[in-house]
Chains A and B, each alone.
Chain A
Amino acid sequence: MRRVLSVIAGLIAAALLWEGYKAAGDPEGTVLFGVRVLPRADDLSMPHLWTILGRLTDPEMTGGRPVWIVVLDACLFTLGITAAGFLAGTLIGLVLAAAMQRFRIVERGLLPYVILSQTVPLVALAPLIAGWGGTLMPPWASVSVIAAYLAFFPVAVGMLRGLQSPSAAGAELMRSYAAGWWRTLVKLRFPAALPYLFPALRLAGAAAVVGAVVGEISTGTRGGIGRLIIEYSREATSDPAKVYTAMLGAALLGLLVAGAVSLLELPLMRHRRHVEVVTL
């Protein structure tokens, strides 16, 4: 109950901030030394919240479907791409982390490239991967590849740190039980890594959403929320509220993915919830 209330309070605070700035801010934006430091607050740049919400129920185009259905449809499409990319990225990240933990030489050789991979600009990479769409794989899958490319990184780095987190005593104990690498991984290293894995999964989830949205735009894939943002922003001068409906959809997508990770965390991190120490 308290959680629900705090979520509602957060939403109200965000709405107040938006409308408050709109009421108090300069419609032309605040310009200091020729640089606009605060955005314009006019109706064209920041439509009223009720205009945006109202736009959701209006038809997309004259006689078309209502905008909220179009946005929701696009969200579902992108959610599928995100989920595929997130799962693939997570799997790759986990395997890389396990390999790096197992073999020191792999860690030394691979980790720099794992980090390097994230410094390659996505715009440079996207056209190459987009080329795979339609030949090697369906176009949506090529967008998933981009999402996975962004998502694997936090998982690989976070999980490696987590797998290395057990103390030497824990590893020795497993050795005394004659447990090999695999059983030590399953019984000791993997459970010990969970507190590191979940923050990494949150980052990976966000990265997968960004990857899917940006990937859709740069590969020109139709049907998703990324494409919708681009399409609607072209109409921003005549219909400024419309593009914000698409952005709401993208935000919803992020929340969904974060919620999914939290659901996964609940049963696995049960031991962290009881913290009262019995002293007998």
Chain B
Amino acid sequence: MTAVVVSGLTKVFNQGRGDEVLALSEVDLTVGDGEFVSLIGPSGCGKSTLLRLIADLIEPTAGTVTVADRPAAQARREQEYGIAFQQAGLFEWRTVRRNVELPLELRGVSKAERRAKADRMLELVGLADFAGHYPGQLSGGMQQRVAIARALAVQPPLLLMDEPFGALDEMTRERLQSELLSICAKTGTSTVFVTHSISEAVFLSDRVVVMSARPGRITASIEVKLPSRDEAGRQAPVYFEKITEVRQALRA
């Protein structure tokens, strides 16, 4: 089974109008089961668009998306993925805990189980003490951590993340990166991760997919094999080599 198969994917916004934009052109991408793939590229290269197409939040103009061997629309209906966006997008009228519970609620999970799961996720992102707070009372970084907890709450087989750590400080970011990796390793979750940061992409990924803009297409796919994903990994020569390789691919 493959987590995601994208083939011949093309997306045109505002087709047939004056402001027509070719966002993606003939993109092919395969994400294996349990694989962590980062999408990296300059602004406007369509990496977020690609993520949203995989999530079936928008319709492709041409080509197909398969998630867990099913068409993307069916996979979305069967909730094969969890998603976290750049903006936390929490519901301000719900407490932090009830925000994390939301996807569980929509799946019809029982109240006690919902609460237990939400609390576990909040502990994971270091916000156990803020379960009863409202989002308006939290700083931006804390809100983002709640959003990540919400995406993880259903323990989906596929995680789609659109620059989820973009708004966080370096320390929190590194801690959450490690947390994310350990969760993915533990649960065998496949991940598609959109980011601007080369070092983040290299540290997290099994494979870094480099994209170019106008029209958005994949220009390189770089396998990363770090000896370990921890402090030692961040200082390994191969880590710096891969960063250089990605940087050069981005410049090409």
Q: Does B43 touch A at the CB level, under 8 Å?
A: no
Whether B89 pairs with A169 at a CB distance below 8 angstroms is yes
Which residues of the partner chain A approach B81 to less than 8 Å between Cβ atoms?
176
Which residues of the partner chain B approach A277 to less than 8 Å between Cβ atoms?
136-139
A interface secondary structure, majority: helix
- CB within 8 Å of A: which B99-156 residues: 102-103, 105-106, 130, 133-134, 136-139, 142
Whether A276 pairs with B77 at a CB distance below 8 angstroms is no
Whether B93 pairs with A191 at a CB distance below 8 angstroms is yes
Considering the chains assembled together, what is the distance between the CA atoms of A232 and B81 in angstroms?
70
B interface bracket (residues with beta carbon within 8 Å of A)? 20 to 34
The answer, among A170, A176, A275, for a CB contact under 8 Å with B91, is A170
Whether B87 pairs with A169 at a CB distance below 8 angstroms is yes
Q: Does A178 touch B at the CB level, under 8 Å?
A: yes
Considering the chains assembled together, what is the distance between the CA atoms of A68 and B72 in angstroms?
70
Whether B78 pairs with A176 at a CB distance below 8 angstroms is no
Considering the chains assembled together, what is the distance between the CA atoms of A183 and B102 in angstroms?
11
Interface size on A, residues (CB 8 A): 24
The answer, among A172, A178, A192, for a CB contact under 8 Å with B78, is A178
Which residues of the partner chain A approach B94 to less than 8 Å between Cβ atoms?
191, 271
Q: Does B76 touch A at the CB level, under 8 Å?
A: yes
Whether A187 pairs with B138 at a CB distance below 8 angstroms is no
Whether B85 pairs with A187 at a CB distance below 8 angstroms is no
Considering the chains assembled together, what is the distance between the CA atoms of A13 and B47 in angstroms?
63
Q: Does B57 touch A at the CB level, under 8 Å?
A: yes
Considering the chains assembled together, what is the distance between the CA atoms of A220 and B203 in angstroms?
80
Whether B93 pairs with A176 at a CB distance below 8 angstroms is no
**Which residues of B are interface residues toward A (Cβ below 8 A)?**
52, 55, 57, 76-79, 81, 83, 85, 87, 89, 91-95, 102-103, 105-106, 130, 133-134, 136-139, 142
